[in-house]
Amino acid sequence: MTVRLTLVPPATSDALREVRFDDDGPLDPAGLARAEALAAVVAPATRAYASPSARCLGTARALGLRAGPVAALAGCAMGRWRGRTLDDVAAAEEAALAAWLSDPEAAPHGGESLRDLRVRVGAWLDALREGSGRVTAVVEPDVVRAATVHALGVPDAVARRLDVRPLTAVHLSGRTGRWNLRVGEPLTG
């Protein structure tokens, strides 16, 4: 049995445009319009899921997916950095930010480390292999990175080197204990 999983990062929001750690704000009007315009080209799925954030759930609705929120697919818990810009954190907590950027096990913000995120998302991904069919998940960019790193079995630090663009498709197909990856297709017809 093969699972064909498509991971879709959400449309744009103010947090993304401002290079700010997400604070669960909604999609911006341009992001919502772009997602609605792409609804016709999203392949049908037997199962659909979403990160529980407002922007992922909003993107899923705009794409015409009946996706339920899954706690295991939540973005990385950023603790006291939530809602702050990267520049603000760099100015106020330079050493803490440097530690977070260089060490996947670090969580100086009081939230979750990138390793913990990868383990959580990886457990969901591994459980998903027990089924079959087409699955679509609208998930935060860091969840896409975590799933990709887990699927490929590469070091957690590789996640920092993966750029994830809004409303693109990352495809994973899995069976018999392994995943294959097809990356970065635009959601256009």
| Range of weakest confidence among 22-26, 64-68, 80-84, 95-99 | 22-26
What mean pLDDT do residues 43-58 have? 92
Q: Which residue has the higher pLDDT, 59 or 187?
A: 59
- Sheet (strand 178-186) strand order: 68-69, 47-50, 133-138, 3-8, 168-175, 178-186
Tell me the Ramachandran region of residue 34: left when phi exceeds 0, alpha when psi lies from -120 to 50, beta otherwise: alpha
With contact defined as beta carbons under 8 Å apart, do 26 and 10 qualify? Answer: no
- Rounded Cα gap, residues 163 and 1, in angstroms: 30
**CB within 8 Å of 37: residues ≥ 6 apart:** none
Report DSSP state, residue 65.
Answer: -
pLDDT score of 45: 85
Q: Which residue has the higher pLDDT, 8 or 188?
A: 8
Phi and psi (nearest 5°) for 13? -140, 170
Phi and psi (nearest 5°) for 68? -85, 150
Residue 186 has pLDDT above 80, yes or no: no
What mean pLDDT do residues 101-120 have? 96
